[in-house]
Amino acid sequence: MTRTLFTDVRVFDGSGRDPFPAEVLVDGNRITAVTDRLPRHLRADARVIDGAGGTLLPGLVDAHAHLGFGSTVEHRSPRRDELDAEKALLVAHAGRVLLDHGITSAYSGGNRLPRTETAARKAFAEGWMPGPRLKAASWEGSAGMVEPGVYDFPGIDGRASDPESVSRFVTEMAELDVDIVKLSLSGESAVVQGTSRIVQFTDEEVAAAARAADQHGVWLTAHAHAADSIKTAVRHGIRAVYHCTFADEEALDLLEAARDRLFVAPTPGIIHANLHEAGGEPEPGMEVEATAAAVRQVVPELVRRGIRVLPGGDYGFAWNPVGRNLKDLELFVDWFGFTPAQALRAATFHGGQIMGMGDELGLIREGFLADLVLVDGDPLADIALLQDRHRLTAVMKDGRLHKAPA
């Protein structure tokens, strides 16, 4: 088994405590020592990585990842209409780009080709294709269960409730071996103007989805901007709630009461990109400025109430490509008032929890999985430096060095 020793590093262990000088030993795929000075007999035969005073972090987690949107910092795809075979290659490519940028785990926010994502999950886990630990997701079920990629967000008025079709959708996705089934409980004004505040599923339908998910052992994720869609998600035990943009007091109270079992990813990255990178003026129905204003009010209140808020900003669009994911950490600081340490804790400690691996992932601690990122510099002084992949001098996943210092 390969043994690797990180020396001359300051360790941010993910718990939130201040960084401390240490040596960290990895044996196989586990951290076996975090100590001031490793005894000589334990140093024997270890590959030594001199951190030169840099910062060693737990591997970072993206809680709303899209590997199938088609665009990375290396390849832009504004069309999103590639053949399925090409889309599969783009998923693999995006996984490698995530790992290049220190994202060692990804919780998927949906993929139009779920089988591609489950295949990538297997390849990444087996190590013959570079990519993060991956929780694979279904495509995003929408009102009336329209086919993948076709969203009209008509709402629930004027159509009969159809819990059987929703239950069937969850079952079919679970049979594809995904980890997560995603439901668009609200519309999305950036896709279909004026729909973010329109509820898309009846209470009866979401209850049916929850029963099916429990039966088949999959997690549910909700796309939920509208206050009533957030409330429905929480009432029926949905595990991860994306956006939470227009949460009212009742929604906040429900989220707080369920804070020990759910996670929120508010996706500031795509909002920032829609404001500053998309080109041209957003049309009024897109609600971009209203969304930005609302989320900047809601997230600090979520944090005040002890709700776990995680980074993951819908990266993968041509104007918001995969590889910029750690922009979210800067926005957590600038928009939401996090300290850099709090932002990093959200991306590591809480990241391990949303991956369902909180007892072995997200901390630099003896016995934990060896997912590690070595940074040239101090991200606690300047969180934005994490966006420069050249400052990430080593990236390790599962005890394997994806990137090593020159």
Q: Which residue has the higher pLDDT, 151 or 308?
A: 308
In a domain, residue 346? The reply is no
Q: Considering its fold, how many domains does the chain have in total?
A: 2
Quote the CA–CA distance of 115 and 201 in Å, as a whole number: 25
219 and 280 part of one domain: yes
In a domain, residue 312? The reply is yes
Last residue of a domain, one of 281, 302, 325: 325
33 and 123 part of one domain: no
- The per-residue pLDDT for 82 is 83
pLDDT tens by residue, 201-257: 999 999 999 999 999 999 999 999 999 999 999 999 999 999 999 999 999 999 999
User: E strand or H helix at 242, and its extent?
Assistant: strand 240-243
In a domain, residue 318? The reply is yes
CATH assignment at residue 241: 3.20.20.140
Q: List, in order, residues 6 or more apart from 359 with CB less than 8 Å away.
A: none
With beta carbons less than 8 A apart as the criterion, state whether 161 and 152 touch: no
Strand locations in 75-132 (E): 103-108
β-strand 180-184 against 219-224: which pairing, if any?
Answer: parallel
With beta carbons less than 8 A apart as the criterion, state whether 136 and 128 touch: no
Q: How many CB atoms lie within 10 A of CB 46?
A: 17
Strand locations in 310-391 (E): 372-375
7 and 88 part of one domain: no
Q: Tokens 């966006």 — which residue?
A: 387
123 and 10 part of one domain: no
In a domain, residue 332? The reply is no
- The per-residue pLDDT for 236 is 98
CATH assignment at residue 370: 2.30.40.10
Residue 210's nearest CA partner among 199, 200, 219, 198 is 219
Least confident of 140-154, 251-265, 322-336: 140-154
State the chain's mean pLDDT as an integer: 95
With beta carbons less than 8 A apart as the criterion, state whether 26 and 3 touch: yes
pLDDT greater than 80 at residue 270 = yes
Q: Tokens 């996090």 — which residue?
A: 338
For 42, the domain range is 3-58+361-403
Average pLDDT rounded to a whole number, residues 283-299: 92
pLDDT tens by residue, 56-84: 999 999 999 999 999 999 999 877 778 88
pTM of this structure: 0.96
What crossing angle do the helices spanning 227-235 and 203-216 adopt, rounded to 10°?
40
pLDDT greater than 90 at residue 164 = yes
Q: List the Cα angle 212/141/235 in 5-degree steps.
A: 55
In a domain, residue 335? The reply is no
Last residue of a domain, one of 273, 306, 325: 325
β-strand 103-108 against 133-135: which pairing, if any?
Answer: parallel
pLDDT greater than 80 at residue 144 = no
Quote the CA–CA distance of 242 and 322 in Å, as a whole number: 18
Quote the CA–CA distance of 189 and 243 in Å, as a whole number: 12
- The per-residue pLDDT for 145 is 60
Residue 154's nearest CA partner among 163, 162, 144, 164 is 144
In a domain, residue 225? The reply is yes
87 and 209 part of one domain: yes
Q: Tokens 């409330």 — which residue?
A: 231
203 and 291 part of one domain: yes
- The per-residue pLDDT for 1 is 59
19 and 113 part of one domain: no
Residue 282 buriedness (CB in 10 A; 0-12 / 13-18 / 19+) = middle
C-alpha dist (Å) from residue 216 to 102, 166, 220, 237, 282 = 32, 14, 11, 15, 41
Last residue of a domain, one of 301, 325, 349: 325
pLDDT tens by residue, 82-136: 888 999 999 999 999 999 999 999 999 999 999 999 999 999 999 999 999 999 9
Type of residue found at 318: A
Average pLDDT rounded to a whole number, residues 298-322: 97
305 and 207 part of one domain: yes
82 and 19 part of one domain: no
96 and 210 part of one domain: yes
Quote the CA–CA distance of 201 and 217 in Å, as a whole number: 22
121 and 268 part of one domain: yes
151 and 279 part of one domain: yes
High-pLDDT (> 70) share of the chain, %: 98
In a domain, residue 343? The reply is no
In a domain, residue 189? The reply is yes
